[in-house]
Amino acid sequence: MDTEELVESIVRGLMFLAGIIGNNFLAIRSFPFGRSSISTNDVLLLNLAVSNLITNYLVDLPDTIADFAGHWFLGEAYCGVFRFCADLSESSSIFTTFFISAFWHQKLVGSLKRGGGPVKLDNMTLVLSLLAGSWATALAFSAPHFFFVRVEGGNGSKKDCVDVFPDAFSRKIYDIFYLTLANAVPLAGLLFASGRIAATLLKLHQRIQGQTEEPGKGGGPDAGLGSVSQPQSGAVPSERARKPNSGRQVRAAKSVVAVASVFLVCWLTHLLLRITNNFHTSSLVVEVASYVAASYTCIIPYIFLHGVKKLSCSCTRS
């Protein structure tokens, strides 16, 4: 193994380690240990962590080992599992990130309009149905990768696990549907939701600044946040009662915007690389695309952990 390959393998290993730690922590902190009620937000975060852990354990780990070994050594049987799990977890992670952004869009933007009442995605049945549909879609798009694979190389040359479709036309048809339905559509939805969240956060910030500049008209720097999470009623909630809930919602909404930014950079790059590979097949493009996808799964758990205040060792509800 030369120096360049060694550096690539070390980087891949560090990304794998960061993803394993972050996603396991996110799964543990989102799991309903002894809770009387389960929130849909925890279910979404748990599903995201599980999706990413499939990538970490069944894709990144064997890929990292193969990098250090210098070639694919796990055989053609696991080659199919490897490709299947890669697209399964990727699609599920994209859909779940979109659902999380939609949830917080409803929580923040919708709360301002309805005075903090329940939102549609507070309905556990609806959320579980959406997640079931996303897994079914991910399974449908991942199934071909289980069958149309091959380990290329031999006679001393470097072996690699690659997709091999029956013909170029079927490969292009598959990529068109996959990139459109499992990438472009949720990407557009996430950008819309996060854009609305960012605009709402900006309005809240401007409102807080206005109330700070005119203390006689406002209730202090946090007064403008009370409407985010408290219903509009005749009774005015106290400062102490409304600050924690509203602050938690704004903090979580900011984390969604941060995730959307990472999502845009990673998956838009990944999408463009996949499209480019349709016109000019290149092992380098495929390698870069895999690194981009891996970087997403190892970054976002920490953003969500920070955003929902779960960066602690306690397993109680934060």
Q: For 140-158, how does the pLDDT look when each residue is reduced to its tens digit (9 = 90+)?
A: 999 988 888 888 765 455 6
User: How much is the mean pLDDT over the chain?
Assistant: 76
| Domain assignment of residue 171, yes or no | yes
For 69, the domain range is 3-231+240-307
Q: Which of 142-146, 157-161, 190-194, 301-305 has the lowest mean pLDDT?
A: 157-161
128 vs 123: CA distance, rounded Å: 9
Our CA dihedral for 242, 245, 249, 254, rounded to 10 degrees, sits at: 80
The answer, yes or no, to whether residue 318 has pLDDT greater than 70, is: no
Per residue in 238-284, pLDDT (tens digit) is: 444 444 455 666 777 777 778 777 777 776 776 676 666 666 665 56
Mean pLDDT of 168-187: 84
pLDDT of residue 226: 43
Residue 46 has pLDDT above 90, yes or no: yes
CB atoms near residue 193 (< 10 Å):
24
Structural domain includes residue 312: no
CA-based nearest residue to 24, from 50, 44, 6? 50
The most confident of 4-8, 84-88, 151-155, 226-230, by mean pLDDT: 84-88
Alpha helices in 156-238 (DSSP H): 168-179, 185-213, 226-229
Structural domain includes residue 318: no
CATH number at residue 264: 1.20.1070.10
When pLDDT is averaged across residues 114-124 and rounded to a whole number, the result is: 77
317 assigned to some structural domain: no
Residue 99: per-residue pLDDT: 92
pLDDT at 212: 63
Give the predicted TM-score (pTM) of the model.
0.78
Q: How many domains does the chain have?
A: 1
How many Cβ atoms are within 10 Å of 139's Cβ, its own excluded? 14
Residue 275 domain flag: yes
- Residue at 193 is within a domain: yes
Provide the percentage of residues in the chain whose pLDDT is more than 70: 69
Note whether residue 123 is domain-resident.
yes
End-to-end CA distance of the chain: 47
Q: Is residue 315 part of a domain?
A: no
Burial profile 43-64: b = 16 or more Cβ within 10 angstroms, e = fewer = bbbbbbbbbbbbbbbbbbbbbb
